[in-house]
Amino acid sequence: MRVCKLITASALALALLPATASAQQGWFVTPFVGGNFGGNAQFSEFDDLDDEVERRLDFGATLGWLGENHVGFEVDFGFSPNFFQDTAGDVNFELGDSNVTTLMGNLLIGASGGQGVRPYASGGFGLIRSHIDAGSFFDSLDTNDFGTNIGGGLQGYFNDNVGIRGDIRYFRSLEDNEPDDEFDLALSNFDFWRGTVGVTFRW
């Protein structure tokens, strides 16, 4: 409860800060919530054993910095529980507990400034971590793959410190897992889209 009150008080303090040049560019953080869609995953070493991933909840945060020259960087963290729990393609795998975590470092290009709606674009590389608990018949799978993402969106500010950010982004794994001689469950080619919305605080 004390943590929630502290976060609320901090957000109000940021919202009430007077307009300054440093608030028009510089650091920002955006906690977000959204969903994944259009995902595809390949299982095991068989090319025809792939499936479409159903839409799933995703939440996380983006921390970044934008300079006066409209170029900056951001670190994007996302977590999606039950990512592979049910799938929607022809194969229709039914998997147990699973999740996907993404951590990306991105180049950010956008319009700095005060209030108003402004577009931005970003892209970069990082980690895509997948976890699947396949039950008692297969080994659990944990993979840490090098991945890429590219996306963009719109950000609109109520004042110089608080606004809303809408983002759409494409993720893709750049590595194929090398299956061993045992028959176990493994992810290979893996990609998905993510759409999110969040409140942005900048200072």
Tens digits of per-residue pLDDT, 188-197?
578 999 999 9
Q: How confident is the model at residue 11 (pLDDT cuts 50, 70, 90)?
A: very low
When the pLDDT of each residue in the chain is averaged and rounded to a whole number, the result is: 77
Residue 111 has a pLDDT of 67
Is the model more confident about 127 or about 185? 127
**Mean pLDDT confidence for 36-53:** 66
Tokens linked to 17: 């800060």
63 pLDDT band (50/70/90 cuts)?
very high
Residue 192's Cβ-side half-sphere holds a number of Cα atoms within 13 Å equal to: 27
Contact, 60 vs 76, CB < 8 A?
yes
What is the band of 39 on the pLDDT scale with cuts at 50, 70, 90?
confident
Separation of alpha carbons 189 and 42, rounded Å: 5
Task: Tell whether the model's pLDDT for residue 50 goes beyond 80.
Answer: no
Percent of the chain residues past pLDDT 90, beyond the cut: 40
| pLDDT (mean) for 54-75 | 92
CATH class of 2-202: mainly beta
Q: What are the φ/ψ torsions at residue 131 (nearest 5 degrees)?
A: -130, 130
The confidence score (pLDDT) of residue 110 equals: 87
Between residues 56 and 15, the one the model is more confident about: 56
Locate the domains of the chain by residue range: 2-202
3-state secondary structure the chain: CHHHHHHHHHHHHHHCCCCCHHHHCEEEEEEEEEEEEEEEEEECCCCCCEEEECCEEEEEEEEEEECCCCEEEEEEEEEEECCCCEECCCCCCECCCEEEEEEEEEEEEECCCCCEEEEEEEEEEEEEEEEECCCCCCCCEEEEEEEEEEEEEEEEECCCCEEEEEEEEEEEECCCCCCCCCCCCCEEEEEEEEEEEEEEEEC
Structure tokens at 55: 């839409």
Whose tokens are 């729990």? That residue is 85
What is the band of 20 on the pLDDT scale with cuts at 50, 70, 90? very low
